Structure 1
Amino acid sequence: MSDVAVVGGGIVGLSIAWRLVQRGVDVHVFDDGDVGAWHVAAGMLAPGGESEHEDPALIRLMERSADLWPGFAEGLGVEVGYDDAGTLSLAVTADDLAERSRLWTRQALPLLRPTELRELEPALSARVRAGVFASQEVQVDPRKVVNALRARLVDRIVTKRVDSLSEMDSRVVVVAAGCGTAALTGLPVRPVKGQVLRLRGEPGLLRHVLDAAVDGRPIYVVPRADGEVVVGATQEELTDRKITAGGVHELLRAALDLVPALAEFELIETTVGHRPGTPDNAPLLGWLDDHVVVAAGHFRNGILLAPITADLIADLVLGSSSPLLADFSPRRF
């Protein structure tokens, strides 16, 4: 019997386990072998990117976690695609500009003209009307992060599906099972479907992450150093895993409208994932009872929030509760 059992082998569960091991705790991670939302995620670390839609407590949590990411990535000891080139937030039409301007004003970022934007990214379409540069919005490769965490925890990962918490005999059980948290705990965690594409071409076409509104369609385009480009993401209140013609068309059309040269890239992967959402789209972090801790429901922010979640939950298991957890108790539902 381990002292702590972590149910869930995604980026959140593995990060918590890693922090606990670093603090001398005997931990086992129970992983059902299915890939989670991390496998589909582009890895944008953007604490301010959607701040006009988020609760102030969640914004503080995201900003704190973003500050932790450089050290978290370095501590893994291998290259995990952490790239601090920054993000260009873009608007293509007048309506897109009106919608984005509200957020840009709140962020106090100077507006860049099309010529200035194309100096930063020459491959941008001539249709791009305006944008801003957000230096604090960076990226990491979630697949590399998870691989690095697995390598550090290789002797502590148990490939097993957990259908009931009554199976677990550890002193503390941490439920970090993404959408699977609902069945294990009864908490309202729902799957929100997202379709994502991966393209591949010659490296160097793009340098920055692009987060854009194109004819009213939100899209992100995330370039990797090896020539991979991640394009996403649709958002649908559905539970199926179908890759639809409409979803692929929507993403490709917006991406090519934004960066026409992507038409020459190879389409190498179409994937579907399910973000774990909650009624208020904020995470569930804290004790559910005197035996079970929950760390789930991160919705769009699972990659960004992994470091702060790991620290907060590790502290909680070891007897210390941060004021940052006050607004995210799983008992609020």
Structure 2
Amino acid sequence: MLDVAIVGGGIIGLSTAWVLLKRGYNVQVFDPDPASQASFAAAGMLAPVSEVVWDQPGLYPLMRRSRELFPDFAAAVAEESGMDVGYLPSETLVCAGDNADRVYLRELIELQSSIGEVTLLSAREARALEPGLGPGVVGAVHIPGDHQVDPRKFCAALLRILDDRVVRAKVVDAKQGAITLDDGTVVTADKVVLANGLAATDFVDLPLRPVHGDVLRLRVPKHAMPLVSRTVRAVVRGRPVYVVPRSDNQIVLGATSREDSLWGVSAEGVHQLLRDAHHIVPGIWECEIEEMTARARPGSPDDIPFIGEVSPGLIVSTGYFRHGILLSAIGAELTADVVCEKPLPTDFAEAVDVFRYGME
């Protein structure tokens, strides 16, 4: 009998399993294709400052704390696995694509500065930091504390650590004390954790919605390297876009956020991303498209995750929306605390309360 059975092998399930393993628990993760959903598509920005939006006060402390935890979190995973997890302290620039976008960035600075270091730059100052920025940039915000990790490398490292504790099987039923696999096998466990994103709603009643995102991966030609040396985010006519450089001369371009019925890559989304990215970084048009990906992220009504026990022995950790990579460090710790029956800090407990929308 297991101490903990975790349903879902994305970054949340894998990170939670690793934390519980370090705490001495006998744990297994169940997923037919680990790290293939939202974690596979994600760009991996660790960006609590540049990710903030108005009216989400419960989310800010979670993002800030997880960003504080992440350097040690990533270093420990890298050391134990012996693998590169793609953690880069490469700073972030948030650029404005026109005067209205510049006004928006200026208005947001007061909120951002309550979370981390922020400096308003002129277009000239921004280009001094990133010569690849185009003439469409009219101003920027420099955020040195917003870094990145490569989610694919990070999940691969966790999979190596967990190794035979990951069972590649589909869970068709999950309840207090047991899960049932698609071949009929029943696995018993003291605690069951649902960390399987949107699919958690197959087993519990949670107000989750699919938020689709289109992401491109491009190769920078040798003559154009480096296209950018920092993560470059931008607001272009009110639309967000980002260009994330990897250490292997690949860049990640994203991401749309759409709540529609299209599960594949959106043609409109690809066009929007390339057009808006070209406005900020014109060299993007010289790159080779290597991959186009679309995945659905699990969004809660307030875009804050649900972490807690929904019934004795049945725990959920889902609803991370677009913050799953950033929040994996704090999410794994909080979920492990719930498993260990350790009270959560009051401000975190209220924010992630699974019953805050009246679920029964």
**Would you say same fold, with TM above 0.5?**
yes
Whichever residue aligns with residue 238 of structure 1, its letter is D
Give yes or no for the alignment of 1:154 onto 2:163.
yes
Contact 2:274 2:284 in 1 (8 A): no
Per-residue deviation, 1:239: 4.2
The 5 Å alignment of 1:220-299 reads 220-299=242-321
Cα 1:54/1:4, change in 2 over 3 Å: farther
Question: Segments of 4+ in structure 1 off by > 4 A?
Answer: none
Which amino acid counterpart does residue 66 of structure 1 have in structure 2? R
| 8 Å contact kept, 1:312–1:321 | no
Deviations 1:221-258 (A, max 9, x none): 10111111111111111243222221111111111111
| In structure 2, distance between residues paired with 1:240 and 1:51 | 27
2:351 paired residue among 322, 327, 332 = 327
Letter in 1 for 2:290: I
Q: Distance in 1 between matches of 2:112 and 2:337?
A: 32
Q: What secondary structure is seen at the aligned counterpart in 1 of 2:217? A: strand
1:290-317 deviation digits (Å, cap 9, x = unpaired): 1111100000110000011111111221
Structure 1, unmatched stretches of 5+, are none
1:89 to 89, 94, 115: 94
Q: Deviations over 1:149-172 (max 9, x none)?
A: 000001101111112114522110
Unaligned runs of 5+ in 2: 180-187
Q: Are 2:190 and 1:171 aligned?
A: yes
Equivalent residue for 2:37? 36
Deviations along 1:18-53, one digit per CA (max 9) or x if unpaired, are 001111100010012162111111001111223233
Query: Partner of 2:85: helix, strand, or coil?
Result: coil
Q: CA 1:107–1:118 in structure 2 vs 1: closer, same or farther (change >3 Å)?
A: same
Specify the alignment match of 2:183 in structure 1: none
| SS of match in other structure, 1:123 | coil
Counterpart amino acid of residue 99 in structure 2: A
How high is the TM-score relative to the length of structure 1? Answer: 0.97
Which residue of structure 1 lines up, in the alignment, with residue 64 of structure 2? Answer: 63
* Alignment partner of 2:232 out of 210, 224, 242: 210
Do structure 1's residue 119 and structure 2's residue 128 form an aligned pair?
yes
Match in the other structure for 2:2: 2
Residue 239 to residue 25, structure 1, CA distance change in 2 (3 Å): farther
One-letter code aligned to 2:111: R
The match for 1:142 is: 151
1:103 is matched with which residue? 108
Three-state SS of the structure 1 residue aligned to 2:189 is coil
Offset, 1:280? 1.6
* AA matched with 1:213: V
**In terms of mean alpha carbon deviation, does 194-203 or 39-48 score higher?**
194-203
Query: What secondary structure is seen at the aligned counterpart in 1 of 2:33?
Result: coil
| CA RMSD in angstroms, aligned pairs only | 1.3
**Normalising by the residue count of structure 2, what TM-score does the alignment of the two structures yield?**
0.89
1:184 matched to which residue of 2? 203
SS at match of 2:234: strand
Does the CA-based 8 Å contact 2:58-2:304 persist in structure 1?
Answer: no
Residue identity in the other structure for 1:144: K
Distance in 1 (alpha carbons) for counterparts of 2:171 and 2:309: 19
User: Match for 2:112: what amino acid?
Assistant: Q
TM-superposed deviation, 1:60: 0.4
Q: Which has the higher helix share?
A: 1
Retained in 2: the 8 A contact 1:182–1:190? no
2:185 alignment counterpart? none
Report deviation, 1:54. Answer: 4.7
Aligned-residue sequence identity (percent) comes to 42
Distance 2:356 2:53 in 1: 23
Greater mean alpha carbon deviation, residues 97-106 or residues 225-234: 97-106
- Residue matched to 2:139: 130
